[in-house]
Amino acid sequence: MIGVVRKERLDGLNMELRQLYYFVKVAKKEHVTQAAEELHVAQSAVSRQIHQLEEELGVKLFLQKGRNLQLTPAGQLFLKRAEVILGDIERAVIEIHEFMDPERGEIRLGFPHSLGMSLVPQVVAAFRKQHPKVQFRFKQGMYPSLLRDMVQGDIDLAFISPFPDDHQAVCGEVLLTESLYAILPPNHSLASREEIDLAELKDETFVMFSEGYSLRPIVWEACHEAGFTPKVGFEGEETDTIRGLVAAGMGVSLLPDMALRQTGPLQPAKVKLKSPSVTRTIGLIHRTNEKLPLVAKVFRNFLIDYFNRNMHDK
pLDDT score for 314: 46
CATH topology (fold) of 2-88: Arc Repressor Mutant, subunit A (1.10.10)
Average pLDDT on 52-78 reads 91
pLDDT at 313 (0 to 100): 44
- The residues facing 145 across adjacent strands are none
Evaluate whether 108 touches 155 at the Cβ level (below 8 Å): yes
pLDDT at 16: 81
Rounded CA-CA distance 303/125 in Å is: 12
Band (pLDDT 50/70/90 cuts) for residue 283 is very high
DSSP 8-state class, residue 162? S
The pLDDT-based confidence of 61 (bands split at 50, 70, 90) is: very high
Domain ranges of the chain: 2-88, 108-314
Is residue 99 predicted with pLDDT exceeding 70? no
Mean pLDDT rounded to a whole number for the chain = 88
Q: Cα–Cα distance between 304 and 312 in angstroms, integer?
A: 11
Class of domain 108-314: alpha beta
DSSP notation for 224-286: HHTT---EEEEEESSHHHHHHHHHTTS-BEEEEGGGG----SS--EEEEEEES--EEEEEEEE
Distance CA 212, CA 137 (A): 24
At residue 13 the predicted structure's pLDDT band, cuts being 50, 70 and 90, is low
**Whole-angstrom distance between the N-terminal and C-terminal Cα of the chain?**
66
181 torsion bin: left (phi>0), alpha (psi -120 to 50), beta (else):
beta
Q: Quick check: 172 and 283 in contact, CB under 8 A?
A: yes
Buried-state track 282-308, b at ≥16 Cβ within 10 A, e below 16: bbbbbbeeeebbebbbbbbeebeebbe
Q: What is the biggest distance separating any 2 CA atoms in the chain, rounded to whole angstroms?
A: 83
Indicate whether 79 pLDDT > 80. yes
Q: What is the dihedral of CA 145, 148, 153, 159, to 10 degrees?
A: 50
Does pLDDT of 306 surpass 70? yes
159, 112 Cβ separation under 8 angstroms: yes
pLDDT band at 9 (very low <50, low <70, confident <90, very high): very low
pLDDT of residue 7: 40
With a cut of 60, say whether residue 272 has pLDDT above it: yes
Q: What is the pTM of this model?
A: 0.67
